[in-house]
Structure 1
Amino acid sequence: MVVPPITELNDRARDIFRVVVDAYLATGGPIGSKTIAQRAGLNLSPASIRGVMQELEERGLLASPHASAGRMPSERGLRLFVDGMMQVAEPSVEERAAIEARASGGGPVEEALAATTAALSGLSACAGLVLVPKREVRLRQIGFVPLSATQALAVLVSEDGSVENRVLAIPEGLGGSALTEAGNFLSATVSGLTLSDARHRLERELSDSRAALDGAARALVERGLAVWSEDGERRPVLIVRGQGRLIDAAATADLERVRSLLDDLEGKQEIASLLDSARAGDATRIFIGAENKLFALSGSSVIARPFRGVDGRVVGVVGVIGPTRLNYARVVPMVDFTAATLARFMGVQGNT
């Protein structure tokens, strides 16, 4: 999408365009020439304002949702505003303190990230997002618990005390002794290893026929390997907080758009891919509406920024998602500050 530079607009067009954008960001709706003439103090007649608005519409910067409903910025116009006209408002002392308190609240890293994302969601009135790599914990023990004749639960206990479960399909009639044997073998073989290292060791043990397992237990271990291989290739962890904030008074007038947006959030793989595209570079990325095909129907915007760990490498991406009428001037610096806070937090974690 090619957006004309702001310098192509004369002062009158720029002033009227800003009034239309400000009204849209405040109300989510269009504004008419008569209202602009009454409120904006531009010393222009409604007819003159209509002429300028028509010119802006022809440039693709404004749109009219209905024949006589006034004008609102198009996605192209919002891009022009964000890139060339927006004057940011830095987070207040209270907002900064709220974000920093959540990041340094203690507990596991994932809990701190989730809490910080929730704080960002509350302050921005958007849904908060954070994307981080899946942690490579070291295993302590693996066991199997029968669930039914055809399913078993693989329980992975890590050295840090965390527990993860996987549901495995097992051959019908597999006895409890095979579950016990497979669990004992796995615990003895993979203790102290990461999941990826454990997978490689088990593959070697099985291929070299060094595993002293009967046929049933061996089959169970191989099924576990298949599931864990998928886990090792999984996308990074995506944390979403504050989806309910997307359903506000203005949104109720466009429930289909909100429903589409919530469906987009359920498709976490696509959201994760979008955020992952913001990892390159240090700048904040702003995706407006159909600029990304994921939001072509919901008409949503995403503001995202990467944050780095103690070694300077990108650790993750934090951001928000909301309607295209979100308060960019306020939310962009808030996302920037949250990214900087998480970078400091990850630096502290890396030194502990």
Structure 2
Amino acid sequence: MHAPPVTDLNDRARDVFRVVVESYLSTGAPIGSRTIAHLSGLNLSPASIRNVMQDLEELGLLAAPHTSAGRMPTEIGLRLFVDGMMHAMEPSIEERAAIESRVQQAGPVEEALAATTAALSGLSACAGLVMVPKREFVLRQMSFVPLSAEKALAVLVGGDGSVENRVVDLPPGVSVPALIEAGNYMTATLGGLTLAEARARIEREMAEERALVDSASRALIEQGLAVWSEDSDRRPVLIVRGQGRLIDAAAAADLDRISDLLDDLEGKQEIARLLDSASAGDATRIFIGAENKLFSLSGSSVIAKPFRGLDGRVIGVVGVIGPTRLNYARVVPMVDFTAATLARLMG
């Protein structure tokens, strides 16, 4: 069932519908005709409001979740509100500063993305997420630190300043000088190359006997590159922060829904596919409840916005996941601003 055009509603119906939706987004609870008559200033009697609410229910825009007279918007009603009646609120100066400060922090790009996602989560009271394509890791420096006779710590410094460590097995007979020699050789010969390029070069040089290292160092270099190349295929492309914010006081009464949502968040490949579907075009995508199969059980909403590089290509998607009753008017512009800020970082 699709939402009717907002123009199909008369002024009275639109006014009552807006009060119901805004009350639900604020409290998460249904609202009754007497409360609307008392609080809304619509100058309508409770009986008149009940009649309007009944009409809206027949249109599929409102529903009565319990036997009480209170009504709340359906997902179809929320879609109508978001598309046709919502008045967006731009992020405040303080909110913009909070997001920009995280993007501008020094360090690897992944850390800036994680920090920005955490900031968006905190400001929106949702789980924040960002997805970027797999980035080619560029070698700047590599060294080996002995841990024991059989193990060493491989320390790799990337072109973006990031540092990662891996424990590797040492080939028999590798001495401390050989570890130093292998690290110096890799830094001098392979610095500035991606992992794939580095592997191709070292294989070529060793095949042509141009690698001026002994056999023990050669075995260590080959193993080190193999470990990094295998690991690069598993680099996370999706960052999720703030899942705990989904469990608020209102959600505590609906633990089954929250359990379903947290289970959904564990399926990162599914979320990645959802975000990938949001990368087409420039508009912010809003998925409400069952509009997306992934979150149909948990009754959650996703707001996602692609961001582009200087060449116009989509380089990532940022967004939030929260209950269907989230503050769309506030969160949608916040996601838009975060996307624009990340575009400057990644561009």
Quick check: TM above 0.5?
yes
What's the Cα RMSD here? 3.6
Q: Aligned residue for 1:137?
A: 137
Residues 14, 278 of structure 1: alpha-carbon distance in 2 compared, 3 angstrom cutoff: same
Q: Distance in 2 between matches of 1:325 and 1:165?
A: 43
Contact 1:143 1:187 (C-alpha < 8 Å) held by counterparts: no
How far apart, in 1, do the equivalents of 2:57 and 2:210 lie?
74
Q: Structure 1 residues 117 and 147, CA, compared in 2 at 3 Å: closer, same or farther?
A: farther
Q: Deviations over 1:287-336 (max 9, x none)?
A: 11111111112111111111222333222112111111111011111111
SS of equivalent to 2:244? helix
The offset of 1:51, in angstroms, is: 2.6
Q: What pairs up with 1:74-223 in 2 under 5 angstroms?
A: 74-139=74-139, 140-141=141-142, 156-159=156-159, 162-165=162-165, 175=172, 177=174, 184=182, 187=186, 190-200=190-200
Structure 2: give runs of 5+ residues left out of the alignment.
none
Comparing 87-96 with 113-122, which one deviates more in the overlay? 113-122
1:52 aligns with 2:52: yes
Given the superposition, is the C-alpha separation of residues 97 and 229 from structure 1 closer, same or farther in structure 2, using an over 3 Å criterion?
Answer: closer
SS at match of 1:141: strand
CA shift, 1:125, in A, is: 1.5
- For the residue of structure 2 that corresponds to 1:286, the secondary structure is strand
| Counterpart position of 2:343 | 343
Q: Which amino acid aligns with 1:285?
A: R
Q: Which amino acid aligns with 1:266?
A: E
Q: CA deviation at 1:250?
A: 0.9
Rounded to whole Å, the distance in 1 between the matches of 2:133 and 2:290 is 27
Residues 108 and 165 of structure 1: CA distance in aligned 2, closer, same or farther (over 3 Å): closer
Alignment partner, residue 350 of structure 1: none
User: Which residue in the other structure is 2:43 paired with?
Assistant: 43
Match of 2:296 in 1: 296
Q: Cα gap change, 1:202/1:107 in structure 2, threshold over 3 Å: closer, same or farther?
A: closer
**Aligned residue number for residue 306 of structure 1:** 306
1:330 is matched with: 330
Shift in CA distance, 20/153, structure 1 to aligned 2, threshold 3 Å:
same
In 2, the alpha carbon distance for the partners of 1:176 and 1:77 equals: 71
CA spacing shift, 1:158–1:145, aligned 2, 3 Å: farther
Amino acid at match of 1:76: I
Query: Following TM superposition, by how much is the alpha carbon of 1:157 offset from its aligned partner in structure 2, in angstroms?
Result: 4.2
What is the rounded CA distance, in whole Å, between the counterparts of 2:80 and 2:222 in structure 1? 57
How far 1:339 moved relative to its partner? 1.5
1:302–1:319 contact (8 Å) kept in structure 2: yes
Decide whether aligned partners of structure 1 residues 346 and 14 sit closer, same or farther in structure 2, where only a CA change above 3 A counts.
same
- TM-score computed with the length of structure 2 as normaliser: 0.81
For the 8 Å contact 1:37–1:45, the answer to whether it is kept is yes
Q: Matched residue of 2:339: which SS?
A: helix
Matches within 5 A, 1:250-261: 250-261=250-261
Structure 1 residues not aligned, in runs of 5+: 348-352
Q: Deviations along 1:115-153, whole A, 9 cap, x unmatched?
A: 22222222212222122233323223375978999x987
Which string of whole-angstrom CA distances, capped at 9 and with x for unpartnered residues, describes residues 327-350 of structure 1?
101111111112122223334xxx
Distance in 2, matches of 1:31 and 1:118, equals: 33
Per-residue CA deviation, residues 81-120 of structure 1 (Å, 9 max, x unaligned), is: 1011101111122222222222223333222222222222
> How many pairs does the alignment contain?
342
* Identical aligned residues as a percent: 72
Report the Cα offset of residue 64 of structure 1: 1.8
Change (3 A) 1:237 1:305: same
Residue aligned with 2:318, SS: strand
Instruction: Provide the secondary structure at the position in 1 that maps to 2:30.
Output: coil
Q: Distance in 2 between matches of 1:229 and 1:221?
A: 11
- Aligned equivalent of 2:8: 8
* 8 A contact 2:136–2:195 mirrored in 1: yes
Q: Which residue of 2 aligns with 1:24?
A: 24
**Counterparts in 2 of 1:208 and 1:262: CA distance versus 1, 3 Å:** farther
Task: Tell me which residue corresponds to 2:64.
Answer: 64
Deviation of 1:26 (Å): 0.5
1:268 CA drift (Å): 2.0
Mapping of 1:221-240 within 5 angstroms?
225=226, 231-234=231-234, 237-240=237-240
Q: In structure 2, how many angstroms separate the alpha carbons of the residues matched to 1:207 and 1:294?
A: 50
